[in-house]
Amino acid sequence: EAQLVESGGGLVQPGGSLRLSCTAAGFTFNTYEMNWVRQAPGKGLEWVSTISNGGGNTYYADSVKGRFTTSRDNAKNTLYLQMDGLRAEDTAIYYCARQSSLAYWGQGTLVYVSS
Amino acid sequence: DIVMTQSPDSLAVSLGERATINCKSSQSVLYSSNNKNYLGWYQQKPGQPPKLLIYWASTRESGVPDRFSGSGSGTDFTLTISSLQAEDVAVYYCHQYYTTPRTFGQGTKVEIK
């Protein structure tokens, strides 16, 4: 069965950086598009980014474009989200999810941006 | 951007009764070359990640009870819970994966009356 485990969240000051990881198991990672979706406390779901299966194509929400970078290491079955220039409004649980239909989700990792 | 609008925002239904959630997209999410609607429905219970219920607007994900069904095409979609069970209390979201930026509806909270 497919499994996704996020890590790397935590408390960071405004303007700081954080790198999230999503480790995949139970499926052929390099054949699937991967996504990051976030959820601010008590709010709805917000798509953040998508990366193609080979990593050659990436897409971002306007709210994070130029500040966040999605990448993947298919040899390590791992997806990354490099977050720079963090703002208070980036505070959220960050989920990774497999394929365009978001068929599998990790449990999420909390990013808290505060001074 | 495609805006996804769900209605209602919340819904209280008696156990065993039908629950219906609507989702309207500001542009069609039907891809004409394969006749597929790039629309998914998700269930999220408190403290848990979302769970895929329906993809391609009407295909039930493996393991999802058959009381959940999806319908619609183009810009108008519906998620129906035919006989509400206590474990169905959750927030439900629609999501279009037709184009980027991918977008979600605002969510519909389903409770027991």
The pLDDT tens digits for B5-18 are: 999 999 999 999 99
Residue A109, chain B, CB below 8 Å: the answer is no
User: Are β-strands A18-25 and A78-83 bridged in parallel, bridged antiparallel, or unpaired?
Assistant: antiparallel
H or E stretch covering B13: strand B10-13
Q: Chain B interface residues facing chain A, Cβ-Cβ under 8 Å?
A: 38, 40, 42, 44, 49-52, 55-56, 61, 93, 95, 97, 100-107
Token digits for B80? Answer: 């129906």
Predicted local distance difference test score (pLDDT) of residue A53: 97
Which percentage of chain A shows pLDDT scores above 90?
100
Closest CA to A66 of A49, A41, A51, A78: A49
Predicted local distance difference test score (pLDDT) of residue A30: 97
Predicted local distance difference test score (pLDDT) of residue B8: 97
The pLDDT tens digits for A6-53 are: 999 999 999 999 999 999 999 999 999 999 999 999 999 999 999 999
The pLDDT tens digits for B56-108 are: 999 999 999 999 999 999 999 999 999 999 999 999 999 999 999 999 999 99
User: Are β-strands A109-113 and A10-12 bridged in parallel, bridged antiparallel, or unpaired?
Assistant: parallel
To the nearest whole angstrom, how far is the Cα of B55 from the nearest Cα of chain A?
6
